[in-house]
Every structure is written in structure tokens, then in C-alpha cells.
């Protein structure tokens, strides 16, 4: 039997992330390294989710918050991107004697791919040059105990298709892989 994991895009391709100070990502990258080593050690097969942010906004985008992605076009484009992955998951699910989909791995804090935690706030595009205005907008930013838009849609689609696949953080996935 082959075991599979579905990974958020930037776990395998960190070049798709919003450009930022790499030092701020040190903890995430250490967790990622532990996860990928364990995946190779356990011979787990991988499916990579698309990155809706990179696909829709490119490599030169600024950081966004969940509030900015809660609009009909982003949601429809995300559903369209998820469709080929969902069809593959349905096929694997049809053959439980051959395949076990262990889970989907989130990237916490992401406005798209966070599952337990996402960034929210009243960030609305052009910030101008007025320090007071910038400070006011930044003060609304917070990490929220909610899912990002892409993960919300993925969970809805899994439920609609009666696919029982857990969505886990990288840390949860590491712990689950230690048990197989």
C-alpha cells in the first residue's frame, strides 16, 4: 500500500512565498526540513496543492490578509485550482487497498493555507506615505484562530465529496508520520 500526503505548495517550493526576511521564517523552515526528511524516510508519496496567491498575484505581490481573499473571484479561482487535486483524491479513495491518503498539510498563518491560524485585518491595498495611516492599518493585523480561504474551500469540497482526509499542521504531520 502506498501512503500519500497532500502538501501546501510552499512546503515544497519556498520561492512561491511572499518575499520577506528569511530570518523570520527560520522556525518554519526547520519544521519543514524535519517533515521532508521524515517523508523521505517513510517513503510517503506527495501531491502538491497549487498556490492561489502566487497563481493570481505572482512573485512580486505584497503580503495579504484573509479579508482580502474573501471575494467571489478569489473563491472561484481557488475552487477551479482545487478541482484536479480533488479528482485525484477521489480516485485514491476508490482504492483503499492500494492507497492511504494520510492528510493534507497546512501552512499556519497563511491567509490561504492556514488551517488553525490565519492573518486577518483591515489591510486594503495601497498604504500611502502617511505614517499615522500606515500605523493604523498595521494595528488591525492579527493572527486569528481560523482557516485561510483556500483551506476553508478545500475542507468544504472534501466534505461535499465525502472524503475523510484530515487537514494537519506540519508539526501534527510529523507526529503522525512517526507512528507509521
Instruction: Kindly indicate the confidence band of residue 102, based on its pLDDT and cuts at 50, 70 and 90.
Output: very high
Asked if 180 and 3 count as a contact pair (C-beta separation under 8 A), the reply is: yes
Instruction: Kindly indicate the confidence band of residue 130, based on its pLDDT and cuts at 50, 70 and 90.
Output: confident
Asked if 48 and 105 count as a contact pair (C-beta separation under 8 A), the reply is: no
Question: How far is the C-alpha of 137 from the C-alpha of 132, rounded, in Å?
Answer: 9
Q: Which residues of 31-67 are buried (b: 16+ CB within 10 A; e: fewer)?
A: bbeebeebbeeeebeeeebbbbbbeeeeeeeeebbbb
Residue-wise DSSP of 140-153? T-EEESS--HHHHH
Question: How far is the C-alpha of 114 from the C-alpha of 112, rounded, in Å?
Answer: 6
Q: Is the pLDDT confidence value at 63 over 90? A: no
User: What pLDDT score was predicted for residue 39?
Assistant: 98
Does the global pTM surpass 0.85? yes
What is the chain's mean pLDDT, rounded? 93
Region 65-75: mean pLDDT is: 92
**140-167 per-position pLDDT tens digit:** 888 899 999 999 999 999 999 999 999 9
Asked if 155 and 147 count as a contact pair (C-beta separation under 8 A), the reply is: yes
Amino acid at each position: 500500500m502506498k501512503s500519500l500526503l497532500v502538501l501546501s505548495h510552499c512546503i515544497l517550493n519556498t520561492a512561491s512565498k511572499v518575499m520577506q526576511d528569511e530570518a523570520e521564517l527560520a522556525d518554519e523552515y526547520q519544521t519543514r526540513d524535519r517533515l521532508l526528511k521524515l517523508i523521505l524516510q517513510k517513503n510517503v508519496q506527495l501531491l502538491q496543492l497549487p498556490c492561489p496567491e502566487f497563481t493570481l498575484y505572482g512573485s512580486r505581490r505584497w503580503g495579504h490578509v484573509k479579508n482580502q481573499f474573501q471575494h467571489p473571484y478569489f473563491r472561484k479561482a481557488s475552487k477551479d485550482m482545487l478541482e484536479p487535486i480533488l479528482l485525484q483524491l477521489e480516485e485514491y479513495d476508490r482504492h483503499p487497498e492500494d492507497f492511504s491518503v494520510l492528510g493534507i498539510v497546512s501552512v499556519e498563518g497563511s491567509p490561504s493555507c492556514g488551517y488553525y491560524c490565519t492573518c486577518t485585518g483591515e489591510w486594503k491595498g495601497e498604504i500611502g506615505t502617511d505614517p499615522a495611516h500606515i500605523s493604523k492599518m498595521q494595528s488591525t493585523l492579527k493572527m486569528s484562530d481560523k482557516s485561510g480561504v483556500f483551506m476553508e474551500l478545500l475542507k468544504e469540497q472534501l466534505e461535499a465529496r465525502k472524503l475523510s482526509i484530515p487537514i494537519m499542521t506540519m508539526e501534527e504531520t510529523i507526529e503522525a508520520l512517526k507512528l507509521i
